[in-house]
Amino acid sequence: MSIIFCVITFLGFAGILIDGYFCLNLHDYRVMKLRLIIMALAAMCLTLVVGCNEEDTVLTSQQEQIVRYLTSSHNPRLIAVEEVPNSMVANPPFYERLNTSTYRYIATYYDSGRNSKRQVAVGDEVELIFEAYEFTGSAPSLNTLYYTNNADMIEKLAENGLNSEFWSLEPLKVKIGSGDIIKGVEASLVDCREGDVVEVYMAFDAAYDKDVVGVIPAESSIMWVCQIKSVVKN
């Protein structure tokens, strides 16, 4: 819900009530009652405005943080896909904004032979080796990793004292379009190819939204690294 909608709603209610007051020529006690109703509606709408504003602020801040990281701190530094045709560099690394809150970088995009490999489409089944991080505006690290099935990463975590007994090393199997995985990740896999390494950056509304998931707080920005091990066409 946008701030504009909240304000319009309030003004609409207030306008209707004030019009009623002037049209009906109410007595003083009714005028008092009308004023109280308007004040109550104003308080409700202002509460909505504050809530909307806070949510919009968090979302916008996360989106800006992701772009800032990709274009300044990320290794390699990325440009937006729209800037690629004007780049003076051959094969410039780039990111794509798939929707308002999902950003994708395909690290293997320029690899030789990539275009001959199977491409992911809705309905296909893929197997993933992945690392899932809370995104804090800087490069992912063991401190922000909250789950993985990557054997190398699990070994590093174990060296740091993690009990990895219940962490699976099996590839994650996903049917694209089923909704069985985070929507930002699912959207980012479409049009990728078997063997791709894909980084996915998500603001909270493309991730877990307002849910608390394990150690990840509500309205958190997250980042996944996915290796597409296989693609089964359907």
One domain, residues 25 and 84 = no
Judging by beta carbons within 10 Å of its beta carbon (0-12, 13-18, 19+), is residue 233 exposed, middle or buried?
Answer: exposed
Show the domain range for 129.
79-232
pLDDT tens readout for residues 144-160: 999 999 999 999 999 98
User: SS3 letters for 20-60?
Assistant: HHHHHCCCHHHHHHHHHHHHHHHHHHHHHHHHHHHHHHHHH
Last residue of a domain, one of 37, 56, 73: 73
Residues 39 and 154 in one domain: no
Is the CB of residue 140 less than 8 Å from the CB of residue 223? Answer: yes
> Which among 12, 46, 73 is the end of a domain?
73
pLDDT attached to residue 16: 46
Mean pLDDT (the chain) is 85
158 and 112 together in one domain: yes
Give the tens place of pLDDT for each residue, 20-79.
Answer: 444 445 455 555 555 555 555 554 544 544 444 566 899 999 999 999 999 999 999 999
CB 228 within 8 A of CB 193: yes
Count up the domains in the chain and report the number.
2
pLDDT of residue 3: 46
If asked whether residues 58 and 119 sit together in one domain, one would say: no
Q: Is residue 232 a contact partner of residue 125, using CB atoms and an 8 Å limit?
A: yes
Pair (199, 90) in one structural domain: yes
Q: What one-character DSSP code corresponds to residue 149?
A: -
Which residue, 47, 73, 99, sits at the end of a domain?
73
Q: Where would I find the H helices in 138-205? A: 151-159, 183-189
Q: Is the pLDDT of residue 225 over 90?
A: yes
Q: What is the pLDDT of residue 75?
A: 97
Please report where in the chains the tokens 């005028």 appear, as a residue: 31
pLDDT at 38: 56
The verdict on 179 and 92 lying in the same domain is yes
**CA–CA separation, 207 and 213 (whole Å):** 10
134 shares a domain with 63: no
Q: Which residues fall within 8 angstroms of residue 221, CB to CB, at 6 or more apart?
A: 62, 65, 66, 134, 135, 136, 201, 202, 203, 204, 207
Record the pTM.
Answer: 0.78
pLDDT of residue 23: 45
> Do both 50 and 90 map to the same domain?
no
Domain with residue 228: its CATH number is: 3.10.50.40
**86 lies in the same domain as 62:** no
Say if residue 106 is in the same domain as residue 138: yes
User: Which residue spans within 40-135 are E strands per DSSP?
Assistant: 79-80, 94-99, 102-106, 125-134
Query: Among 124, 135, 129, 125, which Cα is nearest to 101's?
Result: 135
Does 125 lie in the same domain as 97? Answer: yes
Distance CA 15, CA 220 (A): 39
- Residue pair 1/37 in contact (Cβ under 8 Å)? The answer is no
Do 44 and 95 lie in one domain? The reply is no
Q: Which single residue is written with the structure tokens 């950003």?
A: 103
